A and B are shown apart, each in its own frame.
Chain A
């Protein structure tokens, strides 16, 4: 009887050890997949940034062709002191796995009109809907965050954003060519992509560290 009990308990211990090993292996694989996902996203975003910037520069040249060199040149840039139309916010993730800062672009936020929070939210909405589709191989990556839609408020925000865009272009005149507006949108998209690249790079470096530690632990 005692022998049977001992055998039973040793089997249980073995099973527990096996389970722990499987769990450990699963976590390792999860980190590797997370690293590969972030690397893929990083490369995709870099490519997207490059093509967006190329498009923006060509659109700017096209606007210069349309409006004339005297209307679009560096000598017209405004040197007067003014508050930034766009700022970068750094927040810290509450994620247990990835304890790292997170960058958020606060576009077209003006302290005068107090629309800063709406801009931040609108930016998140845009980033989530317009950004490149990131592939998630891992089933453990978690579902994308769903932000509830609001009705009515986006229209007011869009109007204000349009006004801010027009205001920033006003250094070249108030009646500017649609090509210049298109160039502005391209560079705006490029700025959003840059911030995404920064976030993805942080994730990539963090998961890379974890994978390296696990490999070193395995070899040791």
Chain B
């Protein structure tokens, strides 16, 4: 029952909540970002990061550095933190933590399948997979010719199996089918995660509902914008929207028929939580939309730490670290391309 978590939460998850709040204190501060934004080379970035929690992961990397190396090594830190928490967690927290990685699993499956379709080497593709989304039989994905085989040969024994029921066909895998498969899987995963959190109840259900609803709404907007001018029909577009969130169902009806950015804006401005996001953009422009959404997401994730005795802090920490890694990737790219004036285009400050 909501309100009584304080009595029992710490019995099973108190240690891990303390651990994750400690990790949160290690996130980069505004002063760190100021120093990083003034770096002239990637070696300077490495030097500044050596004083942070990323230091041990980058110290042995030889020069010249590459932006992908910095991202890879920083991701290792996130993976280590996650694995430590997972191995210490008991049910239902362990299942909750596993849910956090299913999105990466879906991305890895699509990467392998797409790369195989383009006749790329499997080893090369495996190196590009996100470590949080790896599973044992992932390399076997390369032999599947259609979704039915994909499911039967590989995915039936993975946590993604229940999400495949809506997209099993015998059609050969091509670029459009793969895209639809990606979005259908992600939709099913989000809905399943949402239901799981609702079952947990209490503060976890309340906080995670808000975070997952935001995620579902953001996905709906991105799908609408990215499908403008493509062959995706309105009905197919609507099928990719999740069955929850602030925009469900009326916002989805309107988004499904949008033909340009301004129409999407017109739909979103009817919803007060998203008015502030779209008010930052000028008409016809969508370049800063991602940053506006990330800023809103970070605000909500930070609020999750204001309350105790719920699992939302674990989700929030993972997402905040991913945002931090995105920030580091962007700063590294701007430094590497000698475009430091553009560094503040995409950096989202945390706390």
Identify the A interface with B (CB < 8 A).
Answer: 54, 57-58, 61-62, 64-66, 68-71, 73, 75-80, 162, 166, 170-171, 173-179, 182
Contact = CB atoms under 8 A, between A and B. Distances in A.
Contacts of A77: 118, 120
A61 B115 contact: no
- Residue from A66, A68, A75 with most neighbouring chain B CB atoms (10 Å): A75
Contact of B111 (A62, A64, A76): A76
B233 to A, nearest CB: 12
Given A174-B179, A176-B226, A71 B107 contact: yes
Interface residues of B, number: 45
The residue in B68, B107, B179, B226 that gathers the most chain A C-beta atoms within 10 A of its C-beta is B226
Nearest to A177: B226
B107 A174 contact: no
Contact of B342 (A58, A69, A175): A58
A164 to B, nearest CB: 13
B346 interface: yes
Contacts of B111: 70-71, 75-76
A162 B290 CA distance: 24
A71 B68 CA distance: 14
Contacts of A175: 179, 183, 223, 226-227, 230, 232
Contact of B124 (A58, A75, A166, A182): A75
Contacts, number: 100
Nearest to A167: B175
Contacts of A162: 229
A78 B117 CA distance: 8
B31 interface: no
B128 A61 contact: no
A79 B118 contact: yes
A62 to B, nearest CB: 6
B135 to A, nearest CB: 15
A80 B118 contact: yes
Given A70-B107, A73-B128, A76-B120, A57 B337 contact: yes
